[in-house]
Amino acid sequence: MPGGDSAAAGGKTGVRIVVVGDRGTGKSSLIAAAATESFSENVSPVLPPTRLPADFFPDRVPITIIDTSANLESRGKLNEELKRADVIVLTYACDFPLTLTRLSSFWLQEFRRLELKVPVIVVGCKVDLRDDNQPISLEQIMGPIMQQYREIETCIECSAVTLMQVPDVFYYAQKAVLHPTAPLFDQDTQALQPRCIRALRRIFILFDSDMDGALNDAELNDFQVKCFDAPLQPAEIVGVRRVVQEKNKEGVNDLGLTLDGFLFLHSLFIDKGRLETTWAVLRKFGYGIDLKLRDDFLPAPLKHAPDQSIELTIEAVEFVRRVFRLYDTNNHGALRPAELDELFSTAPEK
C-alpha cells in the first residue's frame, strides 16, 4: 500500500526550519550546500533566511531555513527564532567530540527550558573529517540521548564538502513537521497511540462493508483506491496477507485482513519510517494533526427553513440498521450500555 501525496501536507503551506548548534559545527555551510547543491569555502558566518522551492521535495511544500549564531550576544534573537520554528536542526561536528557532548549538556536542556514543542533533527556535520581510527556507529552515539530526549525525531550524519546526505537533512526536517511520529506512535511503549488506534479502527469499519470483522480482497482494494488512487494487484494482496500472517497470527483469518492486521500494517509502516503512508490515510478521512476530525470535514446543515425537514436517505437508514444489528450481539432488538459504548467508540468527539 504505497503512500500518496494528495493530502500529504495536511494543509501546511510552508515549513520553517531553524538550524542551531555550537560555533564551528558547520551550520552555514550545510545550509549553503543544500541551497546551491555545491560546496563553497567562502560562506557568511550567518546566512540570511534561505528558501527552498516547493518542488525541492515530493511533498511540494516550500521550506524556509533560518541560520543562527551561537554567540552569547545573539542569544535573544536565537530564542526568538527557536520559538517560531516548526522544526529544529541541531548540529554537532563529527571531528570535534565536545560539540556532541554539548547536545545533551546544553542545547537540548535549553530547548526544554524554553518549553519548545517541536521536533528536533540531530545532524552530525563534517563527517568527512571524522577520525576513522575511532569507528563508532551513530546508533551507539545517539541511542542513549534519544532515550532521554524523545523530541529528537531522527539523527543523520552529513558532509557539506562531499554533499553526502545534505538534502536528506532538510527532507527529514520537513517530514517531521508534515508527518510527525508523536501523534501516531508512543516511543516509550513502542505501540500505536490510543487516538491513532481509534481513528484507524473507524476507517477499518467503514471499509468492512459486509461487517464480518475482516477486509476481504475487494474491501482491501476499495481502501487502496480510496486512499491512494491505485488498485492493488492480486499478487500485492497476497503479499500484504503474507507479511501480516508471518508477524501477527491474529492479523489474517479465512475472511481476510482483521483489525489486528490492519493496525499491525500501520505499525509496520511507522517502524519502517513510512509515516507519510499512515498520515495519507488519516488525512483522507478528515483527521488533522491532533487526530481529531477537522471541522470542515463533516459540514452539518444547521439551519433550514421552517417548512423544511432533514431526513436520512434510504441507503443511510439501511446502513444504520446494519450497524445496529452488528452491535446487538444478543439479538434482543436493543443495545446494552456496553454495546452502545462500543458502537460510538469511533465516533467524533464532542
Q: What does the DSSP assignment read for 42-60?
A: ---SSPPPEEE-GGGSTT-
Average pLDDT over residues 231-256: 93
CA atoms within 13 A on the CB side of 193: 15
Per-residue confidence at 135, pLDDT binned at 50, 70, 90?
A: low
Please say if the pLDDT value at position 117 is more than 70: yes
Residue 196, SS3 per DSSP? helix
Residue 89, SS3 per DSSP? strand
Name the residue with cell 501525496.
Answer: 5
Alpha helices (H) along 72-216: 75-83, 97-102, 108-113, 138-148, 166-178, 194-207
The rounded distance, in Å, linking the Cα atoms of 196 and 291 is 7
DSSP class of residue 345? G
Amino acid at 15: V
The rounded distance, in Å, linking the Cα atoms of 195 and 325 is 26
Residue-wise pLDDT for 255-310, tens only, equals: 999 999 999 999 999 999 899 999 999 999 999 988 988 877 766 666 677 777 77
Amino acid at 277: T
Amino acid at 308: Q
- Provide the grid cell at 63: 521550506
CB 99 within 8 A of CB 93: yes
Q: What is the CA radius of gyration of the chain?
A: 24
Q: CA distances (Å), 28 to each of 152, 198, 246, in order?
A: 21, 43, 47
Q: Note the pTM of the prediction, 2 decimals.
A: 0.80
The rounded distance, in Å, linking the Cα atoms of 84 and 17 is 9
Per-residue confidence at 6, pLDDT binned at 50, 70, 90?
A: very low
Query: If you average pLDDT over every residue of the chain, what do you get?
Result: 90
Name the residue with cell 492479523.
Answer: 251
Average pLDDT over residues 56-69: 94
Relative to beta strand 120-125, strand 152-157 is parallel
pLDDT at residue 300, rounded to an integer = 61
The rounded distance, in Å, linking the Cα atoms of 346 and 66 is 41
The rounded distance, in Å, linking the Cα atoms of 125 and 105 is 19
- Provide the grid cell at 325: 444489528
Q: CA distances (Å), 212 to each of 168, 323, 334, in order?
A: 44, 11, 20
Q: Which helix (H) or strand (E) holds 275?
A: helix 275-284
Residue-wise pLDDT for 36-59, tens only, equals: 999 999 999 999 999 999 899 988
